[in-house]
Amino acid sequence: MKLLANLYVAELHPRKQSLTFTRAASVVAAAVVLAVLLTVASRWYAGQQQVETQRTNHELSQVQQRLTAKQNQLRAAMNNPQVEQKITEVEAQLAQRQRLLQQMASVTASSQTSFAQLLTDIAKADVESIWLHRVIAANNQLTLQGKTNDASALPQWLASFSNYPTLQERQFGVFELRDNSTEAALDFTVGSLAHSSLLSGTARSGSAR
């Protein structure tokens, strides 16, 4: 004898639920609300972007206006005869100062070179019995002061100046020998009358002692 048990009871059967009007209305309402929110958000964002764009355009317009005003002022200043004359005067002064600086630099460099060559030639004309302790070179004139233990060596020393470019053709209006009682050597001065105020003693033209 067979017994059958139906375990697939009615409670386990799938139930078909029909879409009611209330549920459909709820779904439609939610979709509509979502669409409205998206539309409002999009319009708000677009409005913010438009405001920002208008603000940027306004700032750019103000900057352009200021730039145009500055350009107009510059054009007016450039067309002003007084301003042009002032600019011309300033440029002329600058050019004059530049020429003066160039001349001073040239003269200074030339003087330094000449004085260095002068000292070189004096060193080449060195005599053992004569030693210098002062050299004055000013206004294209030369004055030498020093000591010697042989007075006769001075003329020969001066004659040797013709062998050196910076010493030759020098005119010496002062020739002085001074006997220093405290030393065996004689003090001498050979140079220019133009340097009289620079000499330690009173120079006498063409005198010897």
Residue 201 has pLDDT above 50, yes or no: no
Q: Which residues contact 124 (CB under 8 A, 6 or more apart)?
A: 164
What pLDDT, on a 0 to 100 scale, did the predictor assign at position 117?
A: 85
What pLDDT, on a 0 to 100 scale, did the predictor assign at position 19?
A: 54
For the chain, what is the mean pLDDT?
A: 77
Q: Please give the average per-residue pLDDT across 107-125, as a whole number.
A: 74
Category of 144 on φ-ψ map: left (φ > 0), alpha (ψ -120 to 50) or beta: beta
Q: Please give the average per-residue pLDDT across 123-151, as a whole number.
A: 87
Confidence bin at 144 (pLDDT 50/70/90): very high
Least Cα distance to 194 among 152, 122, 147, 143 occurs for 143
b vs e for 18-53, b when ≥16 Cβ sit within 10 Å of the residue's Cβ?
Answer: eeeeeeeeeeeeeeeeeeeeeeeeeeeeeeeeeeee
Residue 152 has pLDDT above 60, yes or no: yes
What pLDDT, on a 0 to 100 scale, did the predictor assign at position 91?
A: 85
pLDDT tens digits, one per residue of 163-196? 998 888 888 888 888 887 667 788 999 888 877 7
By percentage, how much of the chain surpasses pLDDT 70?
77
3-state SS, the chain, equals CCCCCCCCCHHHCCCCCCCCHHHHHHHHHHHHHHHHHHHHHHHHHHHHHHHHHHHHHHHHHHHHHHHHHHHHHHHHHHCCHHHHHHHHHHHHHHHHHHHHHHHHHHHHHHHHHHHHHHHHHHHHCCCCCEEEEEEEEECCEEEEEEEECCCCHHHHHHHHHHHCCCCCCCCCCEEEEEECCCCCCEEEEEECHHHHHHCCCCCCCCCCC
Confidence (pTM)? 0.42
pLDDT tens digits, one per residue of 5-60? 555 556 655 665 555 667 767 777 777 777 778 888 778 888 888 888 888 888 88
Residue 99 has pLDDT above 70, yes or no: yes
